[in-house]
Structure 1
Amino acid sequence: MAPSVALAHDYLTQRGGAERVALELTRAFPGAPMYTSLYVPEATFPGFADVDVRPSWLNQVRPLRQRHRLALPFYAPAVGSLRPREDVLFVSSSGWAHLVPTEGRKIVYCHNPPRWLYQSDEYLAGHRLARAGLEATLWPRLRRLDRRSAAEADVYLANSHNVARRIRQRYRREVHAVIHPPVSADLLAASPSDVGLPRAVREAEPFVLVVSRLLPYKNVEFVLAAAEATPERTFVVVGDGPLRELMVRRAPANVRWLRSVTDAQLAWLYAAAGCLLAASFEDLGLTPPEAASFGTPTLALRAGGYLETVVEGASGWFFDALDVREMQAGLRELDRLALPADDVRRHAEPFAPATFRTAVTDLLAAVV
């Protein structure tokens, strides 16, 4: 008899790459319940409506559902109260979900060791007093709990070689395998459509696209500086986050802002863009394979996970520093290369949803 499987994810309160991976896991293991701390259906991908999502008691606290970062002190007891009874718990985690207790086997797919514990200057930027207080009180206990949970997992997976190195550094354990996450099946299946997008975006020729949450480590402020120095190009920024209001106020006139888009709109944006500009310090960075799926190359910072998702001269180009002139030179080089769309698409094939599903189901069969 096949083992019963449960899934777990940190929280379902946003539309990010980790949530797309969690959704693909529900398709790899159809019928498996999804345990999580918080679930806000209107804030995350609609595909979760077809999943048996089982949130913790924290989900009853309405203010925390709306501002999930305020729930930091409560996540550990909340996920600790979850009680999956299935034979195998398959976890998608960047910090909280791997704390979910289980009597069965536990497989952890790690997006990154938690930023809120080990890179809190990025996660809590602008909240110095809060960070200082948490560093002195809660963080030491949570680091011990985090490392113990990582050690207790039966199998630890990484989404990239970059993250595998961080796992060795933080947890002193080797990963069982590196499995790259997939480009979303929903995004690939969407019919590109500009319906509902502002006219200023629909008529831009061809624009530089940025798809990013607006957080300090995403480095969108450097993109805005490049936009200001390159007024002949239009920059379209898709994303939301704590820095949005400040960035919109400071942005030059050639930047267009989109807070949230549908998969059909995002597919159109990827297909219509001249290139994707990716300037953040990413654990993996799934937006370049997403753009490549639509034949659009990426100009990326030569750092972190982009080294695994961009092939220089084939699916994009790199710039070496967060410097306006470096970005401008990279944009000119992409113009010169004029990479054929079909060639760019081929570099998205290793990130196909079917490849990911086969990898995780084969792994579960091998270890259970």
Structure 2
Amino acid sequence: MTSDDTTIQPVDGPTIAVAHDYLTQRGGAERVALAIARTFPGAALHTSLYDPSATFPEFDSIDVRTMPVNRWGLLRRHHRLALPFLARAVSGHHVDADVLVASSSGWAHGIPTSGRKIVYCHAPARWLYQADRYAGDPGSRGLRSRAVSAATSILGPGLRRWDQAAAASADRYLVNSRVVQAAVRDVYGIDAEVLPPPPAPFDRSAVPEAVPGIERPFVLCVARLLPYKNVDVVIEAVAAVPDIDLVVVGTGPDHARLETLARAVGGTHLLGRVSDARLRWLYENSSGLVAASYEDFGLSPLEAASFGKATIALRDGGYLDTVEEGVNGVFFDRVDRDAVSAAVELAISADWDAERIRAHADTFSEERFSNRLRQIVSEEIGRG
């Protein structure tokens, strides 16, 4: 359910509100926003853009409150095109609450509030501080990536000033990993607490749904189809490993290029978006997960670990927090075909202890995440 009304209905005790940049895709940040919303039942969730068909259906049961910019259907369908308009939209969306918990990768931390503001930062805005990585190689950029590049070139200085002020408006900053902790310190001069997010919950009582057409052993790659996710390298690397296929789950602007590459090398299934029932089947029946992107937090290895599956991961970024070599995965040190292929071969030939892998995932439980977040909110209420 959605509304443009930013007034929170009075309840007994302190009022808590939640915010997220935009709800227009299915990714790790959106799953974390759901975990935050579950931590504070009944709290309104404020966001700039909301496309129910493009994000997780669980948001349907939450009181989602949007900004006027949401009225533009084109922007709901292509949120990157909204970049020039979001700073003004966010700055004009005042939330009346005792505590606002903002899940942010660059926008929600700028929402003004009458109470205390706690920011859960997934990463400082990539389009401002990692623009080349965010947009990808100039020769392979689509229209939207070129639009992002042009917008950041023109609007970058002003947006960086806005972003710095938005970060400074927070009373408490939390981050999802040590690499983001270092980035927040470098970009904003803020010392933030690391609070790892939980892996995605799966309904263990639901019957997994088999995916037709997948007959050979396979490794899984779950990623948005964006240049910095390095799915192209994964496709080429797995194609070079005998007797195993690759299944890619995810959507994004890089789809057409990756589809052409997949047809050329063979052995790759690009499934796009899948239901949780099918994703569960894929995890349960995979020979492991390949994670080659530059991630601020390595969420997908925890999803795989909850099914007792190991991860073949880039030794970089957030994967250093969630993959323990020899326990729930192996690392490769370079994003190139040969390095990834060698790591895949090593992982699929290893004898993994599924129970030990699941125990590793349990240390990142949603209960632990929610308990610490509630404690932090209580501390901020006491300071208000």
Corresponding residue for 1:142? Answer: 159
Using the TM superposition, name which of 52-61 and 334-343 deviates more: 334-343
Report the alpha carbon displacement of residue 335 of structure 1 after superposing the two structures with TM: 3.1
The amino acid across from 1:240 in the alignment is T
The amino acid across from 2:200 in the alignment is S
* Counterpart pick for 1:217 among 224, 228, 233: 228
The amino acid across from 2:173 in the alignment is Y
Corresponding residue for 1:180? Answer: 196
Q: Helix, strand or coil: the match of 1:90?
A: strand
The change in CA–CA distance for 1:115 and 1:356 in structure 2 (over 3 A counts) is same
For the 8 Å contact 2:22–2:50, the answer to whether it is kept is yes
Report the alpha carbon displacement of residue 123 of structure 1 after superposing the two structures with TM: 2.3
Q: Deviations over 1:78-98 (max 9, x none)?
A: 112212111111100000101
For the 8 Å contact 1:190–1:264, the answer to whether it is kept is no
For the 8 Å contact 2:306–2:361, the answer to whether it is kept is yes
What is the CA–CA distance in structure 1 between the aligned matches of 2:146 and 2:123, rounded to whole Å?
25
The amino acid across from 2:229 in the alignment is K
Corresponding residue for 1:162? Answer: 179
Report the alpha carbon displacement of residue 132 of structure 1 after superposing the two structures with TM: 5.7
Q: Helix, strand or coil: the match of 2:363?
A: helix
Identity of aligned residues (%): 47
For the 8 Å contact 2:110–2:169, the answer to whether it is kept is no
Using the TM superposition, name which of 62-71 and 126-135 deviates more: 126-135
Q: Deviations over 1:216-263 (max 9, x none)?
A: 110111111112322421110111111111111111220011111111
Describe how 1:118-137 pairs up with structure 2 within 5 A.
118-125=129-136, 126=141, 130=147, 133-137=150-154
What is the CA–CA distance in structure 1 between the aligned matches of 2:297 and 2:153, rounded to whole Å?
31
Corresponding residue for 2:97? Answer: 86
TM-score (norm 1): 0.95
The amino acid across from 1:67 in the alignment is H
* Counterpart pick for 2:274 among 261, 265, 287: 261
The amino acid across from 1:194 in the alignment is E
* Counterpart pick for 1:193 among 195, 198, 208: 208
For the 8 Å contact 1:298–1:315, the answer to whether it is kept is yes
What is the CA–CA distance in structure 2 between the aligned matches of 1:333 and 1:247, rounded to whole Å?
25
Corresponding residue for 2:62? Answer: 51
- Confirm or deny that 1:116 pairs with 2:116: no
Aligned length: 362
For the 8 Å contact 2:245–2:267, the answer to whether it is kept is yes
Report the alpha carbon displacement of residue 363 of structure 1 after superposing the two structures with TM: 1.2
Structure 1 segments (4+ residues) deviating >6 Å? none
- Confirm or deny that 1:280 pairs with 2:293: yes
For the 8 Å contact 1:192–1:265, the answer to whether it is kept is no
Describe how 1:329-368 pairs up with structure 2 within 5 A.
329-368=342-381
> What are the ranges of 5 or more consecutive residues in structure 1 without an aligned counterpart?
none
For the 8 Å contact 1:35–1:53, the answer to whether it is kept is yes
What is the CA–CA distance in structure 1 between the aligned matches of 2:303 and 2:98, rounded to whole Å?
34
The amino acid across from 2:57 in the alignment is P
Using the TM superposition, name which of 76-85 and 91-100 deviates more: 76-85
For the 8 Å contact 1:190–1:263, the answer to whether it is kept is no
> What are the ranges of 5 or more consecutive residues in structure 2 without an aligned counterpart?
1-11
For the 8 Å contact 1:192–1:266, the answer to whether it is kept is no
The amino acid across from 2:373 in the alignment is V
The change in CA–CA distance for 1:225 and 1:296 in structure 2 (over 3 A counts) is same
Q: Helix, strand or coil: the match of 2:17?
A: strand
* Counterpart pick for 1:104 among 115, 127, 138: 115
For the 8 Å contact 1:231–1:254, the answer to whether it is kept is no
Report the alpha carbon displacement of residue 134 of structure 1 after superposing the two structures with TM: 2.8
What is the CA–CA distance in structure 2 between the aligned matches of 1:230 and 1:29, rounded to whole Å?
46
Report the alpha carbon displacement of residue 204 of structure 1 after superposing the two structures with TM: 2.5
Corresponding residue for 1:204? Answer: 216
For the 8 Å contact 2:135–2:227, the answer to whether it is kept is no
Report the alpha carbon displacement of residue 320 of structure 1 after superposing the two structures with TM: 1.1
Q: Deviations over 1:313-360 (max 9, x none)?
A: 011111111122222221232234311111111110122111111110
The amino acid across from 1:204 in the alignment is R
The change in CA–CA distance for 1:14 and 1:135 in structure 2 (over 3 A counts) is closer
What is the CA–CA distance in structure 1 between the aligned matches of 2:53 and 2:174, rounded to whole Å?
30
For the 8 Å contact 1:121–1:131, the answer to whether it is kept is no
Corresponding residue for 2:239? Answer: 228
What is the CA–CA distance in structure 1 between the aligned matches of 2:46 and 2:115, rounded to whole Å?
15
Q: Helix, strand or coil: the match of 2:59?
A: helix
Report the alpha carbon displacement of residue 135 of structure 1 after superposing the two structures with TM: 4.0
